[in-house]
Structure formats: structure tokens, C-alpha cells
Structure 1
Amino acid sequence: MHELSICQALLDEVARFARKHGAARVLSVTVRIGPLAGVEAGLLQRAFTAARRGTVANDAQLVIERAPLILECRRCGRQTPGRLSHMRCAACDTADVRVASGKDLIFQSLELETAEEAHVQ
């Protein structure tokens, strides 16, 4: 399950960012996953729950956003939405397309709590 190694790398980056900004803890981590990223959202969620234990993100929520599949047509030059079951240009119906978006796993955002905020509550 490579989702666990993805979560460990993600949490390393989260910890670095939290230290840099003086965060006492991480409240949420948001990632954006394309349909061709090769990452199963459910497995990523479970791996994150296991990997976050004992880290600054111990109680953090993982928010997963779905990125659309966007195809760029080599014939007409347009970018159109794609489907895994139909990798053709929606404008001219050619199969001569390249994936413009939808292969990525992107670390989108963090919600942090500083030490001062933690003391106020």
C-alpha cells in the first residue's frame, strides 16, 4: 500500500511547515487527487489516520478534494473534461488527446493552531 508512504511524506512536509509557522498542532490537511493519480482515496484516509499518530497532526482531519480529468486536444487545441471510460475530445471527438490535468496529488492547504490560540481555549 503506497498510500502509507505518501502519508508519511505528506506528514513530514506538514511537520516542517508547522514548525516554520510556530504551530502547536495541525487541525486539518487538504489534498487534491486527480482520477489518474494512482491513489485510492479510502486507503489514503486510513493510512493518514495511522500515520498521523504521535505527530503534530495527531488529531488532524484529512480533507480529500477530487480534481477533474481535463484533456487537451492535439487536433483542435481545446481543453475539455474527460472521463476514464471516454478519453476523447468533447469538442471534436478525436482520441488524439493528452491529459492536461488529473494525474496529480497536490498538497492543497493546512489549518494550523498556534500555541497562543491553544492557550486561549
Structure 2
Amino acid sequence: MHEWALAEAVISSATQIAEKEGLKAVKEVKIRIGELQQVELDIFEFALSQLKTGILQEARFVIETVRARFRCRVCSYEWFFERNRLTGDSAEAIHFIPEAIYAFIKCPRCNSPDFEVQEGRGIWLESIIGVR
């Protein structure tokens, strides 16, 4: 259900932007999804296809996943997220609340829980291409 809610938000935002820009039809919507969102892309794409109407009826959705990259505030080490290192429960928690990542991982170099997410969080519309 997480994916359906995200798809509804994308459809709503894309529609508002397209209308504000005076587009008659949207041809393409580029979406970037942070890896920490752990979106099931098949479900998300299906939801987008089922929810698009009106100005978005013929739109093609291009989705790019952005890898999650972290930087330790203690030792400055940078590393990438590895979902397969999480237990099922912690992966589930992060799926619904990406900020929960701080409770489940630590710096692989110094073991500090004090790190920042450099990339790979959130979902955003990268671009909308349409016809005026």
C-alpha cells in the first residue's frame, strides 16, 4: 500500500505542475526514488498506470533509483546501503519510515551510529515533458 500512496502523490503533483505550466497533455514524467524508500517498483509502476487520467492519460513514467550513500560524522568514511545486511524486521521498518535507518546501521569502519545520508532518500519529480 505504501507504493500506491506514493503513486497517488506523484500523480497529484505531476497534474498540478502540468496544469500550472499550461500543458494540454503530458508525454513523460521522470521520477527519482531514493533507495531508502525501498519502493517495490513493479507495484509502484502498476499503481501509476492505473491512477493516471486526464492530462496524464498518455504519459510515460521513467523511474530512476538513486543509491543510498552515507557519510560517517566521526571518521568521514563513505559507504553505500546494503539491504541484504538487514534483518526482515529492520528492512520492513525502513521501508515504511526511512528515517529508521539510524536505528539499524552503523559506520562499517568505526561502528559509530552518527552518520548522515548523502543521497538516496525521498522521491521527487525530476522533469515533466508535455504539449502546450
Shared fold, TM over 0.5: yes
> Which one-letter code corresponds to 2:123 in the other structure?
L
**Alignment size in residue pairs:** 111
Name the counterpart of 2:98: none
Contact 1:33 1:105 (C-alpha < 8 Å) held by counterparts: yes
Name the counterpart of 2:3: 3
Q: Determine the C-alpha separation between the residues in 1 that align with 2:46 and 2:36.
A: 20
Q: Deviations over 1:85-121 (max 9, x none)?
A: 455657xx2332535122311221111111xxxxxxx
Q: Determine the C-alpha separation between the residues in 2 that align with 1:51 and 1:83.
A: 32
What's the TM-score once normalised by structure 1's chain length? 0.78
Q: Deviations over 1:37-67 (max 9, x none)?
A: 1321111100000000x32110111111010
RMSD: 2.0
Name the counterpart of 2:55: 56
Aligned ranges for residues 13-52 of structure 1 at < 5 Å?
13-52=13-52
Q: Which fold has the larger relative contact order, with Cα–Cα distance below 8 Å and residues 6 or more apart in sequence?
A: 2
Find the structure with the greater CA-based Rg.
1
Q: What SS does structure 2 have at the residue aligned with 1:64?
A: strand
Query: Higher helix share goes to which structure?
Result: 2
What stretches of structure 1 move > 4 A for 4+ residues in a row? 86-90
Q: What SS does structure 1 have at the residue aligned with 2:27?
A: strand
Q: Determine the C-alpha separation between the residues in 2 that align with 1:112 and 1:81.
A: 35
Which of the residues 110, 129, 132 maps onto 1:94?
110
